[in-house]
Chains A and B, each alone.
Chain A
Amino acid sequence: MINNFQLNLDSIKNISLEEKRIREKKLMLFNDVGFPSKKFEEWKFTDLNKIITDNFKELTVATNIKNNENINLINDFEHNFLIIKNGILEKINLKYEDEEKVKVDNYEYDLIDNDKSSNPLINLNNALFQSGYSLKVHQNYKLNRPLVIYNLFSGNLDNKIINNKNSIKLENNSQVELVELNFDNSSYKFIQNSYTNISIGKESSLINYSIQGNKSNGFFYKFVKSILSEKSNYEDYIFSSGLKFNKIEEEIDINGDEAKCNIQSAIFLELDEHNEIKTLVNHFKPNCNSYQKIKNVLSDKCKGAYQGKIFVRDIAQKTDAYQLSKALLLKDTSEFNTKPELEIYADDVKCSHGSTSGSVNEDSIYYLMTRGLNRKSAIALLTKAFLFEVINSISNIDIKKFIEKNLDRQIYGH
């Protein structure tokens, strides 16, 4: 089935024999399975195999994609930034920070042979990744301004696959706010398969916002593995609306007492867009808190999915874990699937989940129309209201305004 796909190591030059051996092994593991079909429980709502074979006749590893395009930096708030073009780190600007305390580099290959993942896309990533960034914040340092990561895609990416690996490491008592901003100017069909490792030290805080800046024909898969230490805080806000295909998987190990994890998402899908968020929150230590709220508005023929699992180990007493999924379907042709899962081995915990999906309340539309709004504006207002709840919980006012502006553009088209 993957015969026309030239997924090989030919384009990966200048590597040691050892690295080559590991990469070949990973590639073999991927090839045993190929792109996962819906027979895999993890992919039951997203038949990636079918999606890829339907959309790609051929597929090659992206190399040397010419790209001289400049990116327009946002001027909504002061920020440090990284510019990443087609997956390659091109520019680092940390002008608001003590450069001794924050380090950004190209991702260095580490011998990841001990990664026993059965996830085919992680294996593929480990076999073929070529670029990415690593960010390290030193102990006791809190960044003065947010760090915006501009992810730009442009040039001839037709039928290419880009594999990235990133790493974010916060040492103890440090803090950073990351804004991942994606722009696709290529208009081609391509795949990005990325893997990010996050490690948050004791009493440190990472707040991450993922924002899609425009529509894209790209196919995006992102796996994020986070490890939380004692009293650390991880917040992840996902606003990835506008992608033809997007799946985000988050695996979070809460490895220290009194750590907090908060994942929220507000997604607006239309046309034939496809979006899935899958999470696994592992409560390994007591007195920790996890909170997830996923909101989707779906129009036209799009598909949305959320799979959220909370795992609580026997010693993780006093865990407080919550997950909620709400979907608003604007058309009969749109589809939303959800699968909540709780696996709990401790007896003194508070865990709950909820899930609702339904259409817009006709009475509300009627009420708004009697006040002069047409049906389309009434639905847009209700859509915004539905999703704004997530944005409203962002405490950084500048970022909140920026994200609201982005959401308005998605809903109202301006």
Chain B
Amino acid sequence: MLKIKNLKTSVNDKTILDGLDLSIKPGEVHAIMGPNGSGKSTLANVLSGKNGYESSGSIIFNGENLNDISIEERAQKGIFLAFQYPLEIPGVNTNNFLKTSLNTVRKARGQKEIDTLTFLKLIKEKSLELGIDEKFLSRQLNVGFSGGEKKKNEILQMKLLEPKLAVLDETDSGLDIDALRIVAEGVNTSRSNENAFLIITHYQRLLDYIKPDFIHVLSKGKIVKTGGSELGEQLEKSGYSNLEA
């Protein structure tokens, strides 16, 4: 599904990703761990198509080179980024936004747009699963939401858009234990043989709930170690410093 080869990325001449290789197949869950500043969020941003990065190397998504593909087209093709810091957007009603987003993506995928009634039914069901109070949905997008509510809102969007590849950028940061479990549950119930997840995190904690197939350690812009889910526990004990090349 995703093949990244020798990805080098810099911002203002500062190298961040320095020859990263990563391959993800449908049905897999990959986790990327690594110390601060190792390039984890940059990887997430580059996958989403964010401007402002100088990149070389290749990112192939379902056989297509993503280089010249815009942010919104990537989203329409099934790449979803759950933000580390979801934006507050005053004046934009959450429900309206979700419906606009869903219908834009459905349209691009050649699916029929859904009407307000069907949408409301769908959103009710999904938000119930995530323990989201419906009242939040009639409020302005993320405005005045707590950290946990913002993150749950990201997962709600993920569940609505049903992406092929979901990139979760430190979705666990700022979550209490209960919220963490709900968010993890949200991911687990979305898993299928057709989609894949890339989970970026600092801590093993989230991975106790979402069992990854692979854990990669990112350091200085490269993957320096790859292992199974046991690698996370090992890291928790020994820290990153022993692994750095």
Contacts and interface: CB of A to CB of B under 8 A. Distances in A.
Interface of A: 361, 363-364, 366-375, 377, 381-382, 384-386, 388-389
Contacts of B81: 370
A205 B50 CA distance: 52
B87 interface: yes
Given A372-B104, A377-B104, A385 B76 contact: no
A366 to B, nearest CB: 6
Contacts of B74: 370
Interface stretch (B90-98, B171-179, B184-192): B90-98
24 contacts: A364-B87, A366-B51, A367-B83, A369-B70, A370-B49, A370-B71, A370-B81, A371-B101, A371-B157, A372-B72, A372-B75, A372-B105, A372-B108, A372-B161, A373-B72, A373-B101, A374-B72, A375-B72, A381-B92, A381-B97, A381-B100, A385-B92, A386-B91, A389-B91
Interface in B72-123: 72, 74-76, 80-81, 83, 86-87, 89-92, 97, 100-101, 104-105, 108
Interface of B: 48-51, 70-72, 74-76, 80-81, 83, 86-87, 89-92, 97, 100-101, 104-105, 108, 140, 157, 161
Contacts of B75: 369-372
A373 B104 contact: yes
Contacts of A386: 91
A131 to B, nearest CB: 41
Nearest to B92: A385
Nearest to B50: A366
B71 A366 contact: yes
Contacts of A369: 49, 70-72, 75
Contacts of B89: 364, 367-368, 382, 385
A381 B72 CA distance: 15
A176 B52 CA distance: 54
Nearest to A374: B72
Contacts of A375: 72
Contacts of B80: 370
Nearest to A371: B101
Contacts of B92: 381-382, 385
A377 B76 CA distance: 14
Contacts of A371: 75, 97, 101, 104-105, 157, 161
Contacts of A385: 89-92, 140
Contacts of A373: 72, 100-101, 104
Contacts of A382: 89, 91-92
Given A366-B71, A368-B89, A371-B75, 12 more contacts: A363-B87, A366-B51, A367-B83, A370-B71, A370-B72, A370-B80, A372-B161, A373-B72, A377-B104, A381-B92, A382-B92, A386-B91
Nearest to B101: A371
A388 B140 CA distance: 12
Nearest to B71: A369
A283 B16 CA distance: 60
Contacts of A372: 72, 75-76, 101, 104-105, 108, 161
A373 B71 CA distance: 9
Nearest to B86: A367
B200 to A, nearest CB: 15
Nearest to A366: B50
A379 to B, nearest CB: 12
Q: Which of B71, B81, B105 has the most CB of A within 10 A?
A: B71
A370 B161 contact: no
Q: Which of A363, A364, A385, A389 has the most CB of B within 10 A?
A: A385
A296 B160 CA distance: 34
Contacts of B101: 368, 371-373
A229 B140 CA distance: 38
Nearest to A378: B72
Nearest to A375: B72
Contacts of A388: 91
Contacts of B105: 371-372
Contacts of B51: 366
Nearest to B107: A372
A367 B104 contact: no
Contacts of A366: 50-51, 71
Q: Top 9 closest A-B pairs, CB basis?
A: A385-B91, A369-B71, A371-B101, A372-B105, A367-B87, A372-B75, A372-B104, A385-B92, A369-B72
A187 B76 CA distance: 41
Nearest to B109: A372
A368 B71 CA distance: 9
A389 B140 CA distance: 11
B16 to A, nearest CB: 18
A2 B72 CA distance: 54
Contacts of A374: 70, 72
Nearest to A365: B71
Contacts of B108: 372
Contacts of A368: 89, 97, 101
Nearest to A385: B91
A373 B99 CA distance: 11
A372 B89 CA distance: 16
Q: Which of B51, B86, B92 has the most CB of A within 10 A?
A: B92
A365 to B, nearest CB: 9
A384 B75 CA distance: 23
B48 A370 contact: yes
A407 to B, nearest CB: 12
A368 B91 CA distance: 14
B208 to A, nearest CB: 28
A367 B90 CA distance: 13
A366 B72 CA distance: 9
A90 to B, nearest CB: 40
B108 to A, nearest CB: 7
Contacts of A370: 48-49, 71-72, 74-75, 80-81, 83
